[in-house]
Amino acid sequence: MCRRDRVHAMPGPAIPFGERSYPSYTMRKLPAAPQRGAVLDATDRHILALLQADGRLPNVELAEQVHLSPSACLRRVKALEDGGVIAQYVALINPRAVGRHGTSFTIVNLESTRPERLEAFEQAVLAVPEILDCFYVAGGNDYLVRFVYRDAEDLERFHAEVLQRLPGVVRTNSMLVLRTVKKTTALPPSAL
């Protein structure tokens, strides 16, 4: 699979990984990416800003706030979804509320960056639900991984039983978050 393909991991049957069993993830294509420089008017940008703030905003309220009829607003939202501008709707969980008090960003280096090695690593990462983000990066490192953990023992377990067992991993370097200054999933209006 080409790294440039737009894909999204979908849960599949469980596969063993170390001593724990993780669900496997199958890939499905995401909607096509919008054309570079897709034209969004002020109403589209307003809709996107409101939905980024509250993805559960009822269409009637959304329509009222952007000064459209509910049917016209729904057509606009559908067009944004179909065009790949709106990729998905999610519930964002507060990790602290579920006992995950720490966040780690870990740099991962592989023994080789041959395409088959990258593919093996990426497929294994997709099978580990604890890994929240994984980015293939430019520069002197190969990947950047984000995960949340309960305590020092959980962090150590994750490094020993998960990260170090991923295919091709030769070195990791973790940065532990002391305090979150800013965190958002919303693109700024100037980017829309």
58-91 exposure pattern, b = at least 16 Cβ within 10 A, e = fewer: eeeebbeebebeeeebeebbeebeebebbeeeee
At residue 171, φ and ψ (nearest 5 deg) are -155, 140
Report the pLDDT value the prediction gives residue 1, as an integer from 0 to 100.
39
At residue 9, φ and ψ (nearest 5 deg) are -75, 135
Asked: is 42-82 a CATH 2.40.290.10 domain? The reply is: no
Report the pLDDT value the prediction gives residue 37, as an integer from 0 to 100.
52
**Alpha-carbon distance 191 to 187, whole Å?**
6
Report the pLDDT value the prediction gives residue 179, as an integer from 0 to 100.
93
CA atoms within 13 A on the CB side of 99: 4
Report the pLDDT value the prediction gives residue 165, as an integer from 0 to 100.
95
Q: Which of 63, 60, 2, 44 is nearest to 27 (CA)?
A: 2
Asked: is 93-176 a CATH 3.30.70.920 domain? The reply is: yes
CB atoms within 10 A of CB 112: 12
Taking the chain (192 residues) in runs of 10, the rounded mean pLDDT of each run is: 41 43 44 58 94 95 97 96 93 91 96 96 96 96 97 96 96 95 88 80
Domain ranges in the chain are 42-82, 93-176
